[in-house]
Structure 1
Amino acid sequence: MSVIDRHGAAVAVFVSGVSSMGVEILAGRLLAPTFGSSVFTWGAVIGVLLAALSGGYVLGGRYASTHASMRALSIISAMSAVSVAVIAVSGDSAVAALGSVPIPGRYATIVPVAVLFGPMTFLLGIISPFAAEQSTAESHGGASGRVYALGTIGSIVGAFGTTFVLIPSLSVGLVAVVLAVPLVVVAVVLAEPDVPSMAAAGLAVLAVVVAASLVLGAPAGEQTLYETQTAYSQLEVTEENGVRTLYLDGVPQSAVYTDDREGYVFDYAPYMHIPMLMDDDVERVLFVGGGGFTGPQRYAEEYPNVTVDAVELDRGVVTAAEQYFRLEESDRLRVHVGDGRRFLSSTDHTYDVIVLDAFRADQVPFHLTTREFLELTNSRLDEDGVLMANVIAARAGEGSAFYRAMVKTLRTTYPSVYAFPTADTPSLQNIELVASKNASGFTRAQLQRRNDRRDIGLDLSAELRRYRQTDGVDTDDVPVLTDDYAPVDSLLDEQVDKRYVITGYNGSTDRD
């Protein structure tokens, strides 16, 4: 018996485990720019792929005794490799096209997952029972146990390798190519000297070679300065008409002028200075969420008596900000890579202002929204301290549930809560929620008088005209968010497919 006969089936099972779990991790990243990375996205990925894998197990088990062979394992591996190569080349465009299928938002990811990843996972599911039939183990139980152990070990390798090695280093398309290569090797090694298996192996080799050449040869957009996959998102830096913008999963996060213009690009950014009008003696400020670090840098530049700490979860974002947004640490601007809540839990510092700028329209870290987290921020603020949260939502009606839940939760912790919507539109927009420990509160007139007599680096008169008390916000149908119950993904679900408007240098930046 040849080495291939003894070990070929085991290698096929191991490789199928690596590729199936690797592609499952990749699916979440491929879907994120269009659908976000909510629990609904990951639920669809896991549920659909488990269903496809189970279907492959059933079919493979039914026909293993009559059709299992090295030739069959070769052909199945080849077909799976071709499927992954197709994902590498057309995954982005296919997801965008399938995203327009008229399905309720929380279920919308099921279609692209089923179409793109279902067939490949189904095929890989057939491999395990076929391999068990080819096993030299002394019993069916022993064969099944060995096969599923190998498949599980392969899945572990695929999960860790894709998560910690491939995605942080390569583009989505190139990761798919890398995951297809082991399947091609299995297809070639196990191919029998006959037309079907040799043709399948040849097709797999051709498909992966073509996919690799297309992925590697695809030019970046003419305005794209930098593009990478970080551990958390697809990051892109573009420049157009003298404006450099940082995108995460296709959503603009920060922008700066690269010509002779000064000031903020996006109109919502100046609102982050409103807390300077509410505290008479600001010395220490914390930003949770960095992006391009335009806010923290502006604070450090404008206020010589202020020390700024900025916490950013994603090391890749910090690197991009250093290279393209002039981020440079100093004695008054310190950058910390890590989770904002963990940082607040571990720090001994007390802050005058905390700016929470880590939310997106469809991706919100729920642990930064809960009453327990807000109580933590309250404990880290001085007696007149101010918390500002940059929330993306509609002001009322459909798309406003998350905003209203945040208002309700803030009221459980802070005596004074204000809202500053930033656009005259019913669409999703940046709404700045400002919570103060000052129980007496501030009227619009008081803040305007402070703005008139203080020099905080910019005139906030226009921003203060948008001042709103939150007493009139209807919160009866939304929950207080807690660590035990924070249905953030459900609250954000009604925002899916709604237009997100950021007013800025060209009037607006629309994201559908």
Structure 2
Amino acid sequence: MNHEISVYESTQLYGEIGKFRFLQFSDHAVQGAIDLNDPQRIVLEYPRAIIHMMKINQPLFNNVFVIGHGIGTIAGHFSDKRFSVAEIDEKVVELSRSFFGYLPNNVTVGDGRQLLENEDNHTLDYIILDAFTKKGTPFHFTTTDFFELTKQKLTCQGALFMNLMGKSRNDKLINAIHTTLKETYAYSKVFSLPAEKGTDIRNMVVIGSNKRIEFQPREMAGFIEIELSQGHIIRDHDSRRSL
């Protein structure tokens, strides 16, 4: 991979005083964080929101595929479940073990879409996409072909979670990803962290499923449900990389 990765510590997290350790890429995007005084605590909002929805939509889920390891927050939280994790950058895996205490031996280094193709059909309860480069979510994780692949691998009760970065208004790429997702899945929801302006970049969680998606607003770690505008359909052969 061509991005630099750094691990650093700080005494503040969102205004809270303490002792925190971060994994960060060269574009200043935080990929993971732990509270060194309470390592089991989940400090970032988006994994807390995803974990809530995983528990409420399929309380007995057992089989999860994750694309993008970071420090392994969600997979590490559910140590009693079967997680298969794909991570393109071997260095990220090494740092998660050395500095963030990631213990499970369930991470495979390679492209997440290619590794997902090797999974048995209709066996996964959840797929979590949490992959980023300097340009954002890699193109081949945003197309109709990819979403059809995820549907093929999920059980009929399963769901795809996507952690994205974008704007709640007039974001052509976010709108296109959601519109493309809806071509495959009967139900979808989009959640965003609040921002002062609709043009502010922030974490967004997008979910696709073929059954109704449940959530409790008070358990969403500050994420609120939003509506997006219609976008265009993204396909594998689409040559547009910057939308």
What is the SS of the residue equivalent to 1:271? helix
Residue 287 in structure 1 maps to residue 59 in structure 2: no
Letter of the 1:244 counterpart: R
> 2:154 is matched with which residue?
381
> 2:10 is matched with which residue?
240
For residue 280 of structure 1, report the CA deviation from its aligned partner. Answer: 4.5
Check 1:286–1:383 CA distance in 2 against 1; reply closer, same or farther (3 A cut).
same
For residue 281 of structure 1, report the CA deviation from its aligned partner. Answer: 2.9
Verify the 8 A CA contact 1:244 1:256 in the aligned structure 2. Answer: yes
TM-score norm. by structure 2 comes to: 0.87
Check 1:469–1:237 CA distance in 2 against 1; reply closer, same or farther (3 A cut).
closer
Verify the 8 A CA contact 1:232 1:314 in the aligned structure 2. Answer: no
Verify the 8 A CA contact 1:360 1:391 in the aligned structure 2. Answer: no
What is the SS of the residue equivalent to 1:362? coil
For residue 322 of structure 1, report the CA deviation from its aligned partner. Answer: 1.0
Gaps of 5+ in 2: 12-18
Query: How many angstroms apart in 2 are the aligned matches of 1:369 and 1:437?
Result: 18
Looking at both structures, which has the greater relative contact order when contacts are Cα pairs under 8 Å and sequence separation is at least 6?
2
For residue 275 of structure 1, report the CA deviation from its aligned partner. Answer: 2.9
For residue 468 of structure 1, report the CA deviation from its aligned partner. Answer: 2.9
Identity %: 25
> 1:148 is matched with which residue?
none
For residue 469 of structure 1, report the CA deviation from its aligned partner. Answer: 6.3
Verify the 8 A CA contact 1:374 1:410 in the aligned structure 2. Answer: yes
Residue 323 in structure 1 maps to residue 102 in structure 2: no
Task: Select which of 217, 231, 236 maps to 1:483.
Answer: 236
Task: Select which of 54, 59, 67 maps to 1:275.
Answer: 54
TM-score norm. by structure 1 comes to: 0.43
Residue 348 in structure 1 maps to residue 120 in structure 2: yes
Query: How many angstroms apart in 2 are the aligned matches of 1:262 and 1:315?
Result: 24
Gaps of 5+ in 1: 1-230, 449-459, 492-512
Query: How many angstroms apart in 2 are the aligned matches of 1:407 and 1:345?
Result: 22
Letter of the 1:288 counterpart: I
For residue 486 of structure 1, report the CA deviation from its aligned partner. Answer: 5.4
Task: Select which of 157, 163, 187 maps to 1:390.
Answer: 163
For residue 363 of structure 1, report the CA deviation from its aligned partner. Answer: 2.8
Residue 336 in structure 1 maps to residue 98 in structure 2: no
Check 1:279–1:469 CA distance in 2 against 1; reply closer, same or farther (3 A cut).
farther
Query: How many angstroms apart in 1 are the aligned matches of 2:4 and 2:222?
Result: 36
What is the aligned residue count? 231
> 1:362 is matched with which residue?
135
Which aligned runs of 4 or more in structure 1 are off by greater than 4 angstroms? 464-467
> 2:218 is matched with which residue?
461
Query: How many angstroms apart in 2 are the aligned matches of 1:385 and 1:362?
Result: 29
Check 1:486–1:434 CA distance in 2 against 1; reply closer, same or farther (3 A cut).
farther
For residue 424 of structure 1, report the CA deviation from its aligned partner. Answer: 3.3
> 2:206 is matched with which residue?
433
Query: How many angstroms apart in 2 are the aligned matches of 1:410 and 1:433?
Result: 9
Query: How many angstroms apart in 2 are the aligned matches of 1:280 and 1:326?
Result: 26
Query: How many angstroms apart in 2 are the aligned matches of 1:429 and 1:360?
Result: 16
Decide which structure has the larger Cα Rg and report it: 1
Task: Select which of 288, 309, 312 maps to 2:84.
Answer: 309
